[in-house]
C-alpha cells in the first residue's frame, strides 16, 4: 500500500511539474450567451451555465427583471431587461396552477375554457417577455457586440433561438421535448407513429390497433397544433426578423440538441447525430459543484491532473473504468448533508423510513380540503413524511409529518431512509427518483407529467393517482404497495442500476458538447441533408411518381403493341378464313 502511495505521489509530483511546462492553452476559453426559460427548465440550464463559468468560459445570462426562479450565480454574469409585468402577476399565475387540484369536477366545457384561459395567460406572459428582450434594441446591440461563440437556451419558448438566429450564432438547445413533435420536425428525426407514442395520448411503445389509430390521428394534427401553440411567438419573431418566419425554420438552425432523455424513462426511438442525451442531469447538479470547489480548485487550475471522486462511501459500488474511475453513478451516491434538524427528523423514522412529498415548483399551495386528504393518509402510515408545503399551516398536522417551505429533494431521495416519493411527475423529480432508486406514488397535474408517470407506471416502479379522485384510502393503499410490496422496489433498483450505469455524467456531457459547438463554431458535420429537402422530396414522392409514370408508359406501350399485334393477327386470321 505504501509503495502504491509512493508511486502515486511520485507520478503526480511529476505531473504537477509537467503542468507548469504545459499550461492550459489560453486561446480555447470562449464566451457563451445563455437565454433561459423560467421555471423548472432553469435547473438544467443553470447547472451548465455554472459549470461552463467554473471552467473558465465567459458566461452571460440574460434574464427578465422579474421572474420566479431565474437569478444570479457564482460563475456567470447576468444582464437583466425590464418587462411590462410585476412579481404579483407571476404569483397570480402560479396560484392559478393550483386550480387543477380543486376537488369539484368542473363541467367539461368549463374545464376546457379554464385551461385555455390559463394557457393564454401563460402564452401572453411568454410573449411579453420575448418582446421585452428582442425588441429592446439597445440590449440586442449590446449582445451583438459581445461576440459570443454560442447561445445556450431552452427552445420550448424560442426567444433564445430567435436571438441566436438573428445574431448568426450556433445555438445549443436544452429540452425534454417540444409539444406537437416540433423537435422531430426541427431535427428531421424520423418518428413513426406506429411505435412512438405521441404526447398526451397515454400510449406506450406497444399499442393496440385502437391506440395506433389515435396515435396516427394525433400525429396528423400535430403540425396544425404547432402553428396554434407558436402563433404568437411567430408573430414576435417575424416582427423582430422583419420577414415571415416559422418557429420550425428557426429551430432547424440549431447546432445541437441536449435532450433530457434517458431510455430508463423514455421508450426507444430513433435519434439524430446532433442529439446528446443528458436525462438525469439534475441528479448530479449540486454536489459536484460544491465538492469541486472545496479543495481541488488549486490543483485543477494547474490544468494537468484531474482527481476522481474516491473518498466517498459508495452505497452502490460500480464497475471501475480507466478514464471514468468511480464516476459512473457516483454522483447519485453523494448527497449534500441535510440540515441538523431535518437529519434528526429523518433519522428518527427508524426502520420505517421516510416519504418525500413535493408537487414541484410551479404549484404554490394546495386547497385546504385536498390537503386534509393527504394529512389523513399520512396519519395512517408508520413512515415519516417530509412535505414541500407553502400554504397556510393547519392545526392538526400529524406528528409524523414535517412541512417545509423548501425541500432538499435530491438529498432526501438519496438518503438511505427514503422509502417512497410522492411526486407530480415532472422530469426532474422523476429522474431524481430513478437515480436514487426510490419507488413513486405519482399525481400528475399538467404538461408532460401525465406522460412521464405513464412511462413509470408501465415499468412497474410506481402507482398513479388522480388528484381529482384521490382519497385518504387510495393514497394509503398506494403508499403501502410501493413501500411494502417489494416488487416495486426490486424493479426500481434494476431501473436505477441501468440509469446510473453511464460512461459519462450528463452534466459533463452537456458541458462538453456546449464547448464543442463553441470551439468548432457549430456542428455542421452533424446536420442531416434532410433539412435541404422539402417533404415531397424527403419521402421520395417525386421519385416514386416518376417511376410509376415510367411503369405506366411502359405498360401502355406494351399493351398498345400487344393490341396492335393481336389485331393484325386477327385480321390475318379473318383474311385467311375469308380466303
Q: Contacts with its own copies in 1-40 (CB under 8 A)? A: 1, 3-5, 7-9, 11-20, 22, 24-25, 28
Which one of residues 99, 102, 205, 493 is an interface residue with its own copies (CB under 8 A)?
Answer: 205
Which one of residues 88, 313, 392, 406 is an interface residue with its own copies (CB under 8 A)?
Answer: 313
Nearer CB in complex with its own copies: 41/286:
286
The whole-angstrom separation of Cα 416 and Cα 332 is 12
Q: In terms of Cα–Cα distance, which of 336, 249, 307, 289 is closest to 16?
A: 307
List own/partner pairs for 563-566 with CB under 8 A and 24 or more apart.
none
Nearer CB in complex with its own copies: 84/270:
270
Stretch that binds its own copies, among 82-90, 414-422, 450-458, 539-547 (CB under 8 A): 539-547
Mask: binding to its own copies, 37-76, rule CB under 8 A, as x and -? Answer: ------------------x---------------------
Which one of residues 87, 111, 120, 539 is an interface residue with its own copies (CB under 8 A)?
Answer: 539
Q: How far is the CB of 162 from its own copies (least distance, A)?
A: 24
- For residue 558 the three cell numbers come to 406494351
- For residue 370 the three cell numbers come to 385536498
Query: Should residue 194 be labelled a site residue for its own copies when binding is judged by CB under 8 A?
Result: yes
Q: Under a CB-based contact definition with an 8 Å cutoff, are residues 49 and 73 in contact?
A: yes
Q: Under a CB-based contact definition with an 8 Å cutoff, are residues 522 and 164 in contact?
A: no
- For residue 129 the three cell numbers come to 417577455
Query: Should residue 552 be labelled a site residue for its own copies when binding is judged by CB under 8 A?
Result: no
DSSP-assigned beta bridge partners for residue 31: 58
Nearer CB in complex with its own copies: 330/482:
330
Nearer CB in complex with its own copies: 38/451:
451
Nearer CB in complex with its own copies: 406/535:
535
Q: How far is the CB of 151 from its own copies (least distance, A)?
A: 19
The whole-angstrom separation of Cα 422 and Cα 464 is 10
Residues near its own copies (CB under 8 A), total:
105
Query: Should residue 543 be labelled a site residue for its own copies when binding is judged by CB under 8 A?
Result: yes
Query: Should residue 100 be labelled a site residue for its own copies when binding is judged by CB under 8 A?
Result: no
Torsion angle of C-alpha atoms 137, 138, 144, 147, degrees rounded to 10: -170
The whole-angstrom separation of Cα 145 and Cα 98 is 43
- For residue 321 the three cell numbers come to 473504468
Query: Should residue 561 be labelled a site residue for its own copies when binding is judged by CB under 8 A?
Result: no
Residues 217-246 that bind its own copies (CB under 8 A): 217
Stretch that binds its own copies, among 64-72, 259-267, 438-446, 563-571 (CB under 8 A): 259-267
Query: Should residue 289 be labelled a site residue for its own copies when binding is judged by CB under 8 A?
Result: no
Residues 267-286 that bind its own copies (CB under 8 A): 267-274
Nearer CB in complex with its own copies: 107/319:
319
Nearer CB in complex with its own copies: 6/231:
6
- Strand segments, DSSP code E, in 36-85 are 58-64, 77-81
Count Cα atoms within 13 angstroms, Cβ side, for 95: 7
For residue 256, the 8-state DSSP code is: E
Query: Should residue 135 be labelled a site residue for its own copies when binding is judged by CB under 8 A?
Result: no
For cell 386477327, the residue is 570
Residues 482-511 that bind its own copies (CB under 8 A): 497-498, 501, 503-505, 508-509, 511
Q: Under a CB-based contact definition with an 8 Å cutoff, are residues 163 and 137 in contact?
A: no
For residue 73, the 8-state DSSP code is: B
Q: Under a CB-based contact definition with an 8 Å cutoff, are residues 127 and 231 in contact?
A: no
Query: DSSP labels for 316-368?
Result: S-----TTTTTTTTHHHH--PPPPHHHHHHHHTTGGG-EEEEE--SS-----H
Q: How far is the CB of 462 from its own copies (least distance, A)?
A: 16
Nearer CB in complex with its own copies: 57/415:
57
The whole-angstrom separation of Cα 275 and Cα 99 is 36
The whole-angstrom separation of Cα 171 and Cα 160 is 8
Q: In terms of Cα–Cα distance, which of 384, 407, 418 is closest to 315?
A: 418
The whole-angstrom separation of Cα 287 and Cα 280 is 14
Q: How far is the CB of 24 from its own copies (least distance, A)?
A: 6
Which one of residues 190, 382, 416, 486 is an interface residue with its own copies (CB under 8 A)?
Answer: 190
Query: Should residue 372 be labelled a site residue for its own copies when binding is judged by CB under 8 A?
Result: no
Which one of residues 336, 471, 540, 555 is an interface residue with its own copies (CB under 8 A)?
Answer: 540
Residues 374-403 that bind its own copies (CB under 8 A): none
Nearer CB in complex with its own copies: 196/418:
196
Query: Should residue 303 be labelled a site residue for its own copies when binding is judged by CB under 8 A?
Result: yes
Stretch that binds its own copies, among 125-133, 147-155, 191-199, 229-237 (CB under 8 A): 191-199
Query: Should residue 324 be labelled a site residue for its own copies when binding is judged by CB under 8 A?
Result: yes
Strand order in the sheet with 275-277: 77-81, 58-64, 31-35, 150-153, 171-175, 256-259, 275-277
Residues 413-432 that bind its own copies (CB under 8 A): none
Query: Should residue 314 be labelled a site residue for its own copies when binding is judged by CB under 8 A?
Result: yes
Query: Should residue 530 be labelled a site residue for its own copies when binding is judged by CB under 8 A?
Result: yes
Amino acid at each position: 500500500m505504501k509503495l502504491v502511495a509512493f508511486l502515486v505521489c511520485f507520478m503526480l509530483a511529476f505531473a504537477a511539474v509537467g503542468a507548469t511546462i504545459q499550461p492550459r492553452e489560453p486561446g480555447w476559453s470562449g464566451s457563451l450567451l445563455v437565454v433561459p426559460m423560467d421555471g423548472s427548465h432553469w435547473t438544467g440550464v443553470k447547472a451548465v451555465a455554472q459549470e461552463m463559468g467554473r471552467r473558465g468560459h465567459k458566461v452571460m445570462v440574460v434574464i427578465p427583471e422579474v421572474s420566479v426562479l431565474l437569478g444570479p450565480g457564482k460563475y456567470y454574469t447576468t444582464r437583466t431587461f425590464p418587462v411590462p409585468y410585476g412579481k404579483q402577476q407571476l404569483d397570480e399565475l402560479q396560484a392559478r396552477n393550483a386550480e387543477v387540484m380543486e376537488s369539484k369536477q368542473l363541467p367539461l366545457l368549463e374545464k376546457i375554457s379554464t385551461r385555455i384561459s390559463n394557457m393564454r395567460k401563460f402564452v401572453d406572459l411568454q410573449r411579453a417577455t420575448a418582446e421585452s428582450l428582442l425588441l429592446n434594441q439597445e440590449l440586442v446591440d449590446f449582445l451583438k457586440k459581445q461576440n459570443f461563440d454560442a447561445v445556450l437556451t431552452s427552445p420550448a419558448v424560442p426567444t433564445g433561438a430567435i436571438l441566436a438566429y438573428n445574431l448568426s450564432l450556433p445555438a445549443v438547445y436544452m429540452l425534454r421535448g417540444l409539444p406537437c413533435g416540433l423537435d422531430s420536425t426541427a431535427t428531421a428525426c424520423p418518428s413513426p407513429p406506429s411505435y412512438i407514442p405521441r404526447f398526451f395520448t397515454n400510449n406506450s411503445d406497444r399499442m393496440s390497433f385502437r391506440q395506433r389509430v389515435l396515435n396516427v390521428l394525433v400525429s396528423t394534427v400535430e403540425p396544425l397544433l404547432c402553428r396554434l401553440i407558436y402563433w404568437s411567438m411567430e408573430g414576435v419573431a417575424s416582427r423582430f426578423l422583419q420577414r415571415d418566419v416559422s418557429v420550425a425554420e428557426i429551430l432547424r438552425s440549431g447546432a445541437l440538441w441536449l435532450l433530457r432523455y434517458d431510455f430508463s424513462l423514455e421508450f426507444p426511438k430513433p435519434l439524430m447525430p446532433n442529439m446528446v442525451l443528458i436525462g438525469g442531469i439534475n441528479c448530479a447538479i449540486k454536489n459536484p459543484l460544491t465538492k469541486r470547489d472545496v479543495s481541488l480548485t488549486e490543483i485543477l487550475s494547474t490544468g494537468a491532473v484531474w482527481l476522481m471522486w474516491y473518498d466517498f462511501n459508495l452505497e452502490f459500488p460500480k464497475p471501475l473504468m480507466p478514464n471514468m474511475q468511480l464516476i459512473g453513478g457516483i454522483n447519485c451516491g453523494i448527497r449534500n448533508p441535510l440540515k441538523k434538524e431535518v437529519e434528526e427528523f429523518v433519522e428518527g423514522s427508524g426502520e420505517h423510513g421516510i416519504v418525500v412529498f413535493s408537487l414541484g415548483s410551479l404549484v404554490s399551495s394546495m386547497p385546504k380540503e385536498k390537503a386534509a386528504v393527504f394529512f389523513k393518509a399520512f396519519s395512517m402510515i408508520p413512515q415519516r413524511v417530509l412535505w414541500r408545503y407553502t400554504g397556510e399551516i393547519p392545526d392538526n398536522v400529524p406528528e409524523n409529518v414535517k412541512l417545509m417551505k423548501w425541500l432538499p429533494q435530491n438529498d432526501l431521495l438519496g438518503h438511505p431512509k427514503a422509502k417512497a416519493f410522492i411526486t407530480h411527475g415532472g422530469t426532474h423529480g422523476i429522474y431524481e427518483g430513478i437515480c436514487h432508486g426510490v419507488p413513486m406514488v405519482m399525481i400528475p397535474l399538467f404538461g408532460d407529467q401525465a406522460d412521464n408517470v405513464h412511462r413509470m407506471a408501465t415499468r412497474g416502479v410506481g402507482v398513479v393517482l388522480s388528484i381529482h379522485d384521490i382519497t385518504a384510502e387510495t393514497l394509503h393503499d398506494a403508499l403501502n404497495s410501493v413501500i411494502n410490496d417489494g416488487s416495486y422496489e426490486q424493479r426500481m433498483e434494476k431501473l436505477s442500476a441501468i440509469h446510473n450505469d453511464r460512461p459519462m455524467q450528463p452534466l459533463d456531457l452537456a458541458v462538453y458538447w456546449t464547448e464543442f459547438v463553441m470551439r468548432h463554431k457549430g456542428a455542421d458535420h452533424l446536420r442531416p441533408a434532410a433539412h435541404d429537402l422539402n417533404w415531397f422530396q424527403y419521402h421520395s414522392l417525386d421519385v416514386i411518381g416518376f417511376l410509376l409514370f415510367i411503369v405506366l408508359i411502359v405498360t401502355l406501350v406494351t399493351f398498345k403493341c400487344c393490341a396492335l399485334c393481336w389485331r393484325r393477327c386477327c385480321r390475318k386470321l379473318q383474311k385467311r378464313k375469308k380466303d
